[in-house]
Amino acid sequence: MFHSHHVFLIILALFVSISHCCTFTISNNCPYTIWPGTLAGSGSPPLQTTGFRLDAGQSVRIPTVPAGWSGRIWGRTGCKFDANGVGLCQTGDCGGRLQCDGNGATPPASLFEITLGSGNEQDFYDVSLVDGYNLPIFAAPRGVHGSCNATGCSSDLNL
């Protein structure tokens, strides 16, 4: 049985207004490996990576996310991939590949959704369970001006 304060994926968004881009930091606070996936929204370029392995306690930074970018980030669980990146995940699978490459998550998958403003426009973000629930996700902006709130759930809803 996992302790709820140890089981969650954290997505920190560092917004940098001077360069008009931001950095996403994805941290795995789960006591097991997860495989985050990313999907760019319509009209947004894919991020530098669209899927990767993240062991317990690890963090990964995705730098230079451009202003105006929109998309989703989620955690996949129970994944097994071969040397070519082909395989399956028990939850959040994206087409049977390590790199999601334009495929969204197969439910159930807890989602972090974001649309970055450009210039002085606002950023919008949320944690959504519209595609079901597979992992606690907590999103907290850092380095921003004004009042930006953390959002999400940091407890396992299945316990």
Query: Residue 128 corresponds to which amino acid?
Result: S
Per-residue pLDDT averaged across 67-93, rounded? 96
Token look-up 């360069």 returns: 19
- 133, two tokens: 């629930």
Of the given ranges (4-8, 83-87, 142-146), which has the lowest mean pLDDT? 4-8
The whole-number pLDDT of residue 14 equals: 45
**Domain residue extents for the chain:** 21-153
Is residue 26 very low, low, confident or very high in pLDDT (cuts 50, 70, 90)? Answer: very high
Is residue 33 over pLDDT 60? yes
Confidence band for 65, pLDDT divided at 50, 70 and 90: confident
Q: What is the pTM of this model?
A: 0.83
Predicted pLDDT of residue 40: 96
Highest mean pLDDT among 22-31, 95-104, 119-128, 146-155: 95-104
Classify domain 21-153 by CATH architecture. Sandwich (2.60)
CA dist 68 to 23, 25, 47, 64, Å?
13, 18, 13, 12
**By the 8 A CB rule, do 8 and 30 touch?**
yes
Which residue is associated with the tokens 């931001």? 22
Mean pLDDT of the chain: 82
